[in-house]
Structure 1
């Protein structure tokens, strides 16, 4: 039986009200930002400093930026700007997580009540899903995952 309840969320194609309401309804206590770049003006309400403020003010939710769980610049460019193949990206990202040994740098309990945040609106082609699947594989399904 899983020991930590973790959620994931993306902010694109969502307005602020819907985004924050989903976090509150899920009982999120900490948002773990897994974007490599979190200060772009294009992120709107999800720009790092603004997001940290809104999370604390609206729901008493803590904000943490964790680039160790993000892809590299080169991977992002190849996939996004060069219209790369998802299967190739997925394999490269999982190899990156393995080489970083993220499973030994975190514990399942650190993710309890946390929500992994990135920009993609759905988890299907998003690295936040790959992170929780990778960790679950290494930790024997210690995470109970829900994608918001």
Structure 2
């Protein structure tokens, strides 16, 4: 069976520092069809409008988009804690995160079709301070550069 080698459009977004209007307008403007939640903690009160229990409703009614949790791309609590506590450099965090998702075999266990018109969601405002950038980098390496990535800011 021949595999489709087409390019898959995928985005990433963080909710911190954005109003609900800006957040949902960015998703709608990018024509996102599925928000892929890769957060470690998506139920915190700090998540505001982006809490797991509320987000599916908002996405469906404001953006005509679906919500899917993808915990396989979330960092482990200890890894995130060590990075946030400055015990790991950004480069070391990247190395350990790549090792983690490699052990999880995400490139084999996740279907690339899920990412078509998808958007990885995390809390960090900008991608260059967030594991969502590493997740997309890792997958793109393993999926032969088939992801065309846009970071919504």
Rounded to whole Å, the distance in 1 between the matches of 2:110 and 2:91 is 26
Write out per-residue CA displacement over residues 117-142 of structure 1, whole angstroms, 9 at most, x where no aligned residue: 00010110211111111011011101
Unaligned runs of 5+ in 1: none
**TM-score normalised over the length of structure 2:** 0.92
Query: 1:94 maps to which residue?
Result: 98
| Match among 113, 118, 125 for residue 114 of structure 1 | 118
Pair 1:56–1:146, CA change in 2 (3 A): same
**TM-score normalised over the length of structure 1:** 0.95
Please say if residues 5 and 111 of structure 1, whose CA atoms lie closer than 8 Å, have aligned partners that are also in contact.
yes
Unaligned runs of 5+ in 2: none
Q: How many residues align?
A: 147
1:39-54 → structure 2 map (5 Å cutoff): 39-54=43-58
CA-based RMSD: 1.1
Alpha-carbon deviation of 1:108?
A: 2.1
1:1-148 → structure 2 map (5 Å cutoff): 2-80=6-84, 82-84=85-87, 85-148=89-152
Rounded to whole Å, the distance in 1 between the matches of 2:111 and 2:146 is 9
Which 4+ runs in 1 deviate beyond 3 A?
none
